[in-house]
Amino acid sequence: MFKKNINRKVLANIIHQNIGFSKIISENIVNDIFYIITSGIKENKKVKITSFGTFQKRRKNERIGRNPKTKEKKIISARKVITFRASKLFKDRINQKS
């Protein structure tokens, strides 16, 4: 179906073709969806999209890491990361034999 990775432009083109909105409106829809997800994660730490999955902001503590090549130890600073957990329905769709 797709010859390359799906990016914002490809999503906008799919909306344009399937729904019939103009390309500009389709791009705005895609941008708005990503903005809503990003804002939700930033404010609430968790965004759950039914039948798709859950995005969650988690905090990782500072820790000691090691360069595998030189074996040099280095401190990895504390940071926030985004995790995604797919819903059961989404996993079932992906693993479904067609």
Q: CA–CA separation, 44 vs 39, rounded Å?
A: 8
Q: Tell me, what DSSP letter sits at residue 49?
A: E
The pair of three-digit structure tokens given for residue 64, joined into one six-digit string: 């000691």
- Strand 63-66 and strand 53-60: the pairing is unpaired
What does pTM read for this prediction?
0.76
Please name the residues in contact with 83: beta carbons below 8 A apart, sequence gap of 6 or more: 55, 56, 58
pLDDT tens sequence across 32-83 = 999 999 999 999 889 999 999 999 999 999 999 999 999 999 999 999 999 9
Which residues share a beta bridge with 81? 58
Break the chain into its structural domains and give their ranges: 1-44, 45-98
Give the CATH H-level superfamily of domain 45-98. Answer: IHF-like DNA-binding proteins (4.10.520.10)
